[in-house]
Amino acid sequence: MNIIAVDWGKDTVKRAAFIANTTTRVIAKLKFDGTLSDLFNHSRASSEGVLIGIDAAIGFPYNAWQLMPDNILTSSQNFIEFLFGPNRPENFFNKVALVSDWSPTSPFIKPPPGKWSRSAFELASNNGLRRPIDKKLGGNPMFVTCGIPGSVGSGTLALWQELIALHAVEPYSIWPFEGQFEQLIKQKKPVIAEIYPRACYGIALSENLPATLTKIAKTQKSPRTHAIDSLLTKPWLTEAGITIKDMELAYDNEDDFDAMISALALLRLHLEHASFESLFADNEKIEGGILGSGSLNVLSS
């Protein structure tokens, strides 16, 4: 299996990817043009299963989903059916600035300049700007595109649009909507899954699994350096015989840092036969999940 971990964002020039080969146990920077289409091009070159882990939400908060019109709720058995289906509204990707304009059929938020009320949007969304797993892992609201530090909404929006554009022309599966990970990866097509760097930090840096959730101030070089230096001392890493190439990029750049650590964490899950499945799976056909979060000991975080 080849594992591609992508640090995602709105701008393709800011996206970064590292690839891990589970046979050779080599991790290296993957050169690509920043698009999902090019990631599929790399996947076609592999004779093995390919996992593409992307740092962007793939799923819809269940609390907000319950506010969908009845025709959508009855016709879409899961979020992916809705995303790719005929009942997705034309204005779904339009960004709203006013609370009065927010609805689950126009969920993306571009707050007005100046002071704005996140709590008002939370109320309008039935407390559905984040999923339970986002709250537990400290993730930002998936629909807010700006106006808060580390906003992720623009990256979410871009990923969903690229998935839609490629749906009719590229064979791929999306975990967990189309099955359990171990089943999907055996198929001869790429598996797209959501990852979260903070979860991957813990998986890569913990002495043992299940891992403790770990926070790193990745925007500063000193914490990145400390984290990488600490990682290189971990017994599991040396015992597994893993080779990490292009490591200097992770020292110098937060995007490459996230991609490298995420690829390493997913490789560890594979090598130690740990769970790739997610926490909070009750509503996974709507909310999706974060790959590997089931290998986190979140109660101790």
Closest CA to 258 of 53, 121, 60: 53
Q: For 28, phi and psi rounded to 5 degrees? A: -150, 160
- Reported as a single tens digit per residue, the pLDDT across 117-148 is 999 999 999 999 999 999 999 999 999 999 99
pLDDT for res 300? 47
16-21/2-7 β-pairing: antiparallel
pLDDT of 154 > 90? The answer is: yes
Neighbours of 71 (CB within 10 A): 9
Mean pLDDT calculated for residue range 93-111? 98
pLDDT for res 301? 44
Which residues are within 8 A (CB) of 123 and not within 5 positions of it... i.e. 6 or more apart?
none
> pLDDT class for 105, splitting at 50, 70, 90?
very high
**6 forms bridges with which residues in the sheet?**
17, 54
Closest CA to 24 of 3, 53, 51: 3
Mean pLDDT calculated for residue range 56-77? 96
Query: Using CA atoms in the order 90, 96, 100, 102, what is the torsion angle rounded to 10 degrees?
Result: 60
- Reported as a single tens digit per residue, the pLDDT across 217-233 is 999 999 999 999 999 99
* Distinct helix (H) and strand (E) counts, the chain: 14, 7
- The three-state DSSP-derived secondary structure of 208-250 is CCCECCCCCCCCCHHHHHHHHHHHCCCHHHHHCCCEECCHHHH
- Choose between 298 and 259: higher pLDDT: 259
- Reported as a single tens digit per residue, the pLDDT across 33-47 is 999 999 999 999 888
> pLDDT class for 104, splitting at 50, 70, 90?
very high
| C-alpha to C-alpha distance for 68 and 179, rounded to whole angstroms | 24
* pTM passes above 0.75: yes
Q: What is the mean pLDDT of the chain?
A: 96
Cα 60 to the center of its chain, rounded Å? 13
Place of tokens 């769970």: 275
pLDDT of 299 > 80? The answer is: no
Three-class secondary structure of residue 295 per DSSP = helix
Three-class secondary structure of residue 100 per DSSP = helix
